[in-house]
A = this chain, B = another copy of it.
Amino acid sequence: MATLRSVSDHPNDAVPSASPPASQTDYMADDQYREAVVDLLGALAYGELTAFERLADDATFAPTIADKAALARMAVAEYHHFELLRDRLKELGAAPELAMEPFTEALHSFHERTAPGDWLEGLVKAYVGDGIAEDFYREVSAYVDTSTRALVLQVLEDTGHSQFAVDRVLAAITEDPRLAGRLALWGRRLVGEALSQAQRVAAERDALSTLLVGGVDRPGADLAEVGRMFARLTENHTRRMSALGLTS
């Protein structure tokens, strides 16, 4: 994996979030950094576009018109996030479609392997799957310039689907406790598939990986920090599963 190789090439002991690049303009002159940011925004943009599709698709499963309209509203919010990312890619002089292209296969594979079988599986996927992806992007955002970070944090803002999913899943489990076993298994499968696709992307996209672990003149995370990051991701995942009334 590019991640580990780069760590040993450029060891760095600085606390990473304390020393992110100062400004977008300075850092965009560095071709490798610019490429990494285009990768990051491209991955996020395609993620938002597929989140739009998936929420819209979940809407077709919705048991009531009100739930359908609520999911459609969240899907629309994801689309507007996609637009922000697409516009920023254009500002950076990148072709949005080319920037998204490297991530289509991994995201497509993930969604194909985790197509929800019903309304509740769709909700758990939206909450648990998107939750882990959002945490990861939030961690990465500590290593980019302030302007890129502001955009990333903006598009990661919860569009309301977390509380919606928690409410609906908790209510369903309260009514039929036997659901908990199946949905807990589903949650574990989602994480497994997400990690396997993330690993694939990390191995293929060197520029993106060096965002996290640093470049020649840029600080990144050391191995211990990468370890702590994974611990945080796991903790948050466990917390989300508990919020749904599920064991992780």
Binding site for B on A (CB under 8 A): 46, 49, 52-53, 56-57, 59-60, 64-66, 68-69, 72-73, 75-76, 79-80, 82, 86, 96-97, 100-101, 104
Known interface pairs A56-B57, A57-B60; A49-B68 also in contact (CB < 8 Å): yes
> Contact: A56 with B69, CB < 8 Å?
no
State the CA gap A97–B68 with chains docked (Å): 11
> Contact: A56 with B68, CB < 8 Å?
no
Contact of A60 among B53, B69, B72 (CB under 8 A): B53
> Contact: A53 with B72, CB < 8 Å?
yes
In the complex, what residues of B have CB within 8 A of residue A59's CB?
A: 52-53
Kindly provide the distance from the CB of A177 to the nearest chain B CB, expressed in whole angstroms.
Answer: 29
> Contact: A101 with B57, CB < 8 Å?
no
In the complex, what residues of B have CB within 8 A of residue A46's CB?
A: 65
Residue of B nearest to A99 (CB): B65
Residue of B nearest to A98 (CB): B65
Binding site of A, secondary structure by majority: helix, strand, loop or mixed? Answer: helix
> Contact: A52 with B72, CB < 8 Å?
yes
Kindly provide the distance from the CB of A209 to the nearest chain B CB, expressed in whole angstroms.
Answer: 23
> Contact: A97 with B60, CB < 8 Å?
no
Kindly provide the distance from the CB of A122 to the nearest chain B CB, expressed in whole angstroms.
Answer: 13
Contact of A49 among B53, B69, B79 (CB under 8 A): B69
Kindly provide the distance from the CB of A106 to the nearest chain B CB, expressed in whole angstroms.
Answer: 14
In the complex, what residues of B have CB within 8 A of residue A75's CB?
A: 52, 56, 75, 79
State the CA gap A9–B157 with chains docked (Å): 58
Kindly provide the distance from the CB of A138 to the nearest chain B CB, expressed in whole angstroms.
Answer: 24
Residue of B nearest to A65 (CB): B97
Residue of B nearest to A111 (CB): B60
In the complex, what residues of B have CB within 8 A of residue A56's CB?
A: 52-53, 56-57, 75
State the CA gap A79–B73 with chains docked (Å): 8
In the complex, what residues of B have CB within 8 A of residue A53's CB?
A: 56-57, 59-60, 68, 72
Contact of A100 among B52, B65, B73, B101 (CB under 8 A): B65
State the CA gap A141–B75 with chains docked (Å): 30
Pull 16 A–B residue pairs with CB atoms less than 8 Å apart, ordered by A: A49-B68, A49-B69, A49-B72, A52-B72, A56-B57, A64-B97, A65-B96, A65-B104, A66-B97, A69-B82, A72-B79, A72-B82, A73-B79, A75-B75, A75-B79, A76-B79
